Structure formats: structure tokens, C-alpha cells
Structure 1
Amino acid sequence: MGGTGEEKPQSLLPQAPKKTRAKSQSDEEEAAIFNTKLLFEATRLEKFCDKWWNIAETDHSEAGLKTYLEQLNKHMALVDMANENLQMSNIEETIRKSSEERYDHINDSGLNTRLRINEILSSIRPAPEEASRTNPTPLATLPPSNQPNYLKVPACDTEVFYGGYEDWPSFRDMFTAVYISHPKLSPAQKLYHLRQKTRGKAALLIKNYPLNDQSFELAWNALKHRYENRRILVDNQLKTLFNIQPVTSENGERIQYVQTTINNCLSTLQANGVSTANCDPMLVYLCSSKLPDETLALWEQSLNSRKELPLWSELDQFLTTRYEVVERLTTYRPNKPKPNQSNFTPRSSTPTNNSFHSRNKTHSLHTDPKRQASCKLCNSNHSLINCVKFKELSVQDRNKFVRENSEQMAKAKGTASPIQQTLENRIPSGTPQAIQMATPRSQH
């Protein structure tokens, strides 16, 4: 019995560390599973929030907002549960800190999304006590003349700013009107909306500012300092103004584009403090150089004086009328070719049947049916020089064929045939081919 009692502790001693390692490994696997679950739920919540923010607020309805709010609450509850399980598990300190930072970031995104949905819902559907305070008497009891006509105005929002200098003034004014002037938004919430409304270079400029109340003014001033550059804005407008492409045809859309581009540049220059009061001669000359010939001629004819300097307002009014006329003519004759197009076909070395000049040339060469050339080799209606089969023969075979077929004509006229004369003109004198062609005539 004593020997048996001594053997049991010896068999159990090495097994204790194995159970400890197994338990530690199980805790690590459990923590890894909870961490993966938190990553998965956080990614789903982030995609859900991004999807909602990409929808224009004018497209939202009360029922749709309620559905989004319900789904948002479910996603946030799943993230909270995954984070709680992870924090209660046996995880390393570095993983714990990184998971807490990830949770705080995605939780802020969910809270801001929920806040914005509730704000839109409150604007669509006023509170009952507020409605009763503003309308104590039902509208049905009021006289028909005193019943106001309510018109639902869509929510106003600004577009995403990507860092273009020409887009900064409109973005600055719209963001100020919609978000900065909002009485219920905290500076941290304004900074969150500013991040959502910037992309590219503009987003990188404010990316490192933390999401708190103190950072909004710093981020907003950084954007203003970077993009409020009057010189670049003016230079871009002048570049656009002097690089307008000329209009080569009577096209109403192209004429209107020239007019609109000039007016837009003038408005932007004036908004940046650049005076355009004395720029009429320059604008008239610049615009006239871009117009097609017919429109330019009509503009010159419309002037009362050929010596006085016309104003840009006069040319602007003329272009409006001209655009309407060209557009109207296009509706009457939609299939009419453009005035700058011509049916003239350049003279080409390759004969074509559709060319007007080729037909005239053919008629002038073949007005006399007796002089129509007929190929002796293939019996086709073309000269022997242009015969493909004749060109494929060797030089000796060509000379032989010419001598045999022109012998009768040479005997009748006492001279060489026209075909042989043509060949002689094309073959340089003194060559063996020229000597061979001259031999039959001398013998004859």
C-alpha cells in the first residue's frame, strides 16, 4: 500500500504545468476571438455610418430615418457587447489599449450619426408641445383666407471639399451657414462634420487634429489659412478667361459657353475685390476673337457706330439673342450640315467614283468614244499602262507584247503606236529596254 501511495504523486507532478499551459492557451484564443468580433462589428458600424452620410439629406423621409436609427442602435449595441467581452477577457495590455482607442473612435462616429438623424427627424416632425404652442387653434376652425400655405423646404447642405482653390469660397460660406452657425452643435460635432465634408488634400490638412471642442477653431483656421489665397484665385480666373477655345461653327451651345465663361470669371473677380469697370474694350475684343465668322459679322452689323467702343453689356445681350436664334434654327433643320463643313474633296492620287472632280476629269478625258482606250491584254476598258496583268509581266514580255500588238497600227500610220510612245517616254533613253523598243521601228 505504501509503495502504491508513493507512485501516484510522482505520476501527477509533471501533469500540473500542462494544465496551466492549456488554460493560458485557451484564454489567448478566447481573447483573439473577442478581438476579431470587435473588429468585425466596428467595421460594420463604420460602413453603416459612411453609407448614411453619403445620402443627401434631401432624400431622407421620416420613415426612412426611423429605420436607419433603429439599425444604428442595433449596430452600436453589438459593438458595445463585443468590446465588453474583450475587456473582460485575459488580453495583453497593448491589445487592450488599441481596442479601447478603436472602440472610442467608432463609438463617436455612431453617436454623431445618431445625433444628426435625430436633428433631421426633429426638423421634419416638430415636438407636440411646440406644435400646440405655435398652433393653439386648429387650422380647420380658421377662415380659409387665414390658413397659411406651408411649403416643405428641403434640407440645405454643402458639397464635399477636395482642396480646389476655386471651390473654397462656396464651401466656406455654405459650411458656415449650415454647421458653424448651427446653435445646437458643439465645436467637437462641428469638427466631425468638417471631417466628413473634406477629402483629399483638405482632409489631410485637418486629419491630425483630435476630435474635441478645442480643435475645431484650429482646424478651421488651418483651412482658411491654406485656401484663402486671393492671388491664386484671381490667377485661375484669368487663366480660364484667356484660354477660351475659339468657336469654329455656328453652334449655339459653344457660343453660350463662351458667354457664360466670361460672365463667371467677371463675377469671381469682382467677388475677390478686382474691379472690372474699365475692362469693356478688352472683353469685347477677347470675345470677338472667339466667335465664328457669321456671328462676328452679325455683331459688327448690329453696331450703331464703327468708331465708338462697344460695351461688354451690348455684346452680352447680342450673344444671348444670337444663341436663341441658332438654337431655334437647329430645331427647324436638325439634319442640316454645319456651315463650316464643305463637300469639297481634295485631289487625290487614287481615283474615286464619289469625287466631283474625279467625275469631271473622267468626262473631259472620255468625251470622244472613238478615243476610249481598250486593253489588248485583258480586254478591259483601261489603258495598257494601267493594266495590272501587264505590270506583272517581265520587261522582255512587255516589249514582246507591245511589238506584236502595235505592229499593225504602226504599218497603217507609218509611226510607232501611242502605247509604244508612252513606254518610250517612261523608259530612260540609252537603256537596253529603250534600245529593244526602238529596234522594231528601225527594222520596219
Structure 2
Amino acid sequence: MQDHSDVEDNLALIENVLVKIGEHLRVKEKAETHRKKLEEIVAQNSTPTVPPSATTQPTAAHPNVKLPELKLPVFDGKLEQWISFRDRFNQAVHNRTDLSGLQKLQYLLASLDGEPSNLLSAIPIQDSSYDQAYTQLTEKYEQTREIVYRHVQQIMEVRSINSRSASSLENILSTVSNALSSISALSIDTASSDFYTVSIVVNKLDSATKLRFHQGLPDKALPTWVTLKDFLAKEITDLASVESPSTNQQQQSKVNYKAATSRGKLIFVFCSDEHANFSCPRFHSMSDAEKQKQVELKKLC
């Protein structure tokens, strides 16, 4: 009986040993599995999975594009120039969908000078900064009331015509037209103030031009700006067709000569000293050919 009991004890001991060996083998197997997984993870992190060709493809967000060949406007902070700058910049850069925010920002900063440039000097040069910069600039200079005031002042202060010419009429027409266009760009109806605009401009005209304009109107009719603008455009064309460069030079010389004699003494236009032409030492030192050339050049005869 004792021997049988010893055998059972030995079998139980062997069974316990086998169980422990089995548990050890299972733990070792799991450890080996985890080790292999770790090696795979390390290998994946150390080897790039993106094909080399993919790194050279341009992204859709930053296409390699260039602006059209044009000179961008420069804005230096003058309110009366803001609308013109805004519209031209929007067309050339802001409204384009093929430019990234970073590219638009660089073009915007390159188009600013003086106060506007200082306003955005601290903005980060990155893709997301463009919208912020554009909004900041717009909020600063999109001052509708003040812009309208400035353009109305331009109309009121346009130079009056003393001597009827194509250039003097062109100055009035371009100044007033540009001012009204800038006001209209602010969604303001300028047609309702035609009577005011026409009254100012007509009073800037010389008497002959004013008479010609009124003679072409129906009796007692209140003219519109379009009517006056078309009249001025035709006058400019007609005058330019009959004015010659030599005539313009001669008129300018007469003006200079009158200015020189306005104080009762002749001021020689060649050296600008206050003396008569015949007593100018520089004139006397010239040869006869040089004297003749200067007389013809200055239109003194």
C-alpha cells in the first residue's frame, strides 16, 4: 500500500510539473508573437510607405501658377484711390481660384506702400493669413462716407477753363468721370445728383463752350451728365483734330513771354535773369547761328 501511495504522489508531482511547463510554453509563445508584431511596427515606421513619385507631385492647394503679365496697382493710403485699387486687385488676384492664400498675400503686400504697408507689416506670412490681411485692409479703407466726400471735392475743385483746348476739356471730363465711377462702385446712384454735377461742370467751362452746349439743348430742359459727357467728348475730338503741335508750342511760348514781361521788365527766357534780351551777356557770347537758333526755339519773333 505504501508503494502505491508513493506512485500516486509521484504522478501528481509530475502532473504539476507538466502543467507549469505548459504554462511556460504558452507564455513564451505569446511573447514571441508580440515580439514579431513589434518588429513589424518598427519596420513600418522606419521605411517610407509613400512612393517617391508622390513627393514630387504638386498639391491642389498650392499649384505652381504665375500671375498674368501686368503691373499691379499700388495703394499708398489715399482714400480717393481705394476703390480703383480694390477693383483692379480683385480682378487680377483676389478673385482667382488658382492661387493659394500665401501667393495672394505676397501679391497684396507687394502692392502696398506707406500706411497700408505698415498696417500689415506684422502679419504672419502663411497661407491662412491672406483672408485676415484682406479683411483688415478693407475695414480700414472702405470708408464709404469719407470716400464720397473726397470724390465730390475732386469734382468741385476741377480746374476751370480759361483758354478753350482739347487738353483742358479732357482734364475736366476725365476727373469728373473717374470720380463718379468711384462713387458708383460703392453702390450709390449718381444719376439722382446729375443736376448738381452738371451745374458744377458747366460753370467750369469757358463761355464759348458753355454757349455751344446750351444751344444744343431743348428749351428749358435740364441736361443729364450723360448728355454733357457726350458733348464734351465730341468737343475734345473736334478740337484735337484742328490743333497742331506747332500751334500748341506757339501758344505756350506766348504765355511764357507774357509772364516774363508782366512786371514791366523783360526776363530773358534763356538764362532767366532779369534784363532785356538784347543786354544778356550769355546771348551776346553766342555765334550768329546760335542766336538765330535760340530766337526760333523760344519763338521770340
- Is the contact between residue 157 and residue 174 of structure 1 (CA under 8 Å) also seen in structure 2? no
Alpha-carbon distance in 2 for matches of 1:204, 1:275: 34
Pair 1:325–1:223, CA change in 2 (3 A):
same
| Counterparts in 2 of 1:297 and 1:332: CA distance versus 1, 3 Å | farther
Of 235, 247, 252, which residue of structure 1 is paired with 2:166?
252
Distance 1:195 1:179 in 2: 12
DSSP 3-state at the match of 2:244: helix
Matched, 1:213 2:130: no
Fraction of identical pairs, as percent: 27
| CA–CA separation in structure 2 for the residues paired with 1:169 and 1:289 | 28
How far apart, in 1, do the equivalents of 2:245 and 2:117 lie?
Answer: 51
Whole-angstrom CA distance in 2 between matches of 1:211 and 1:242: 43
Indicate if the aligned counterparts of 2:109 and 2:117 stay in contact, CA closer than 8 A.
yes
From 196, 215, 228, the equivalent of 2:110 is: 196
Q: Who is 1:293 aligned against?
A: 207
Given candidates 198, 212, 227, the residue that maps to 2:141 is: 227
Matched residue of 2:74: which SS?
coil
Q: What is the DSSP-based 3-state SS (H/G/I as helix, E as strand, rest coil) of the residue aligned with 2:247?
A: coil
Equivalent-residue separation in structure 2 for 1:258 and 1:295 (angstroms): 13
Gaps of 5+ in 1: 1-114, 124-153, 353-444
Which SS does the other structure have where 1:279 is aligned? Answer: helix
Instruction: Name the amino acid aligned to 2:208.
Output: E
Q: TM-score, normalised by structure 1?
A: 0.39
**1:74-85, aligned counterparts within 5 Å?**
none
Alignment of 1:325-344 (within 5 A): 325-331=238-244, 334=247
Q: Separation in 1 of the partners of 2:159 and 2:232?
A: 16
Which amino acid letter does the alignment assign opposite residue 229 of structure 2?
D
Q: Deviation per CA, 1:362-409: give whole Å up to 9, x if none.
A: xxxxxxxxxxxxxxxxxxxxxxxxxxxxxxxxxxxxxxxxxxxxxxxx
Q: Which residue of 2 aligns with 1:277?
A: 191
Where do 1:119-158 residues align within 5 Å? 119-120=65-66, 155-156=69-70, 158=72
Distance 1:304 1:332, change over 3 A: farther
Q: CA deviation at 1:269?
A: 1.6
- Pick closer, same or farther for the CA change 1:241–1:174 going to 2, 3 Å: closer
Matched, 1:311 2:224: yes
Q: Whole-Å Cα distance in 2 between the matches of residues 183 and 297 of structure 1?
A: 53
Contact 2:65 2:98 in 1 (8 A): no
Q: Is the alpha carbon distance of 1:328 and 1:205 closer, same or farther for their aligned partners in structure 2, counting shifts above 3 Å?
A: same
Going from structure 1 to structure 2, the CA distance change for 1:231 and 1:249 (only over 3 Å counts) comes to same
Do 2:198 and 2:228's aligned partners in 1 also have CA atoms closer than 8 Å? yes
> 1:156: how far off?
4.2
**CA gap 1:328/1:223 in 2 versus in 1, 3 angstroms:** same
Contact 1:157 1:178 in 2 (8 A): no
- Per-residue deviation, residues 65-117 of structure 1 (Å, max 9, x unmatched): xxxxxxxxxxxxxxxxxxxxxxxxxxxxxxxxxxxxxxxxxxxxxxxxxx99x
Query: Equivalent residue for 2:56?
Result: none
8 A Cα contact 1:230 1:272, kept in partner: yes
Aligned residues of 1:190 and 1:216 also touching (Cα < 8 A): yes
Q: How many positions carry a matched residue from both structures?
A: 198
Larger relative contact order (C-alpha < 8 A, sep ≥ 6)?
A: 2
Partner residue, 1:267? 181
**Distance 1:193-1:183 versus aligned 2 partners, 3 A rule:** same
Structure 1 pair 327–205 and aligned structure 2 pair: CA distance change class (3 A): same
- Once the two structures are TM-superposed, the CA of residue 248 in structure 1 deviates from its matched residue by 0.3
RMSD (CA atoms): 3.5
State how far apart, in whole Å, the 2-side matches of 1:322 and 1:181 are: 39
The residue number in structure 2 matching 1:238 is: 152
Whether the 8 Å CA contact 1:159–1:171 is kept in 2: the answer is yes
Q: CA deviation at 1:241?
A: 0.8
Structure 2 residue ranges without an equivalent (≥5): 1-61, 267-301
| 8 Å CA contact 1:161, 1:197 repeated in 2 | yes
In structure 2, how many angstroms separate the alpha carbons of the residues matched to 1:301 and 1:177?
Answer: 42
Cα deviation code 1:305-362 (max 9, x no counterpart): 1x23233322222222222222223239826759x98x99xxx9x9x9xxxxxxxxxx
| Aligned: 1:167 with 2:105 | no
CA positional deviation for 1:167: 2.9
The one-letter amino acid of 2:73's match is: E
Tell me how far apart the structure 2 counterparts of residues 224 and 296 of structure 1 sit (CA, whole Å): 41
Correspondence 1:34-73 to 2 at 5 A? none
Question: Secondary structure at 2:124's aligned position in 1?
Answer: coil
User: 1:188 is matched by which residue type in structure 2?
Assistant: L
Show the counterpart of 1:323: 236
**Pairwise CA distance, 1:291:** 0.7
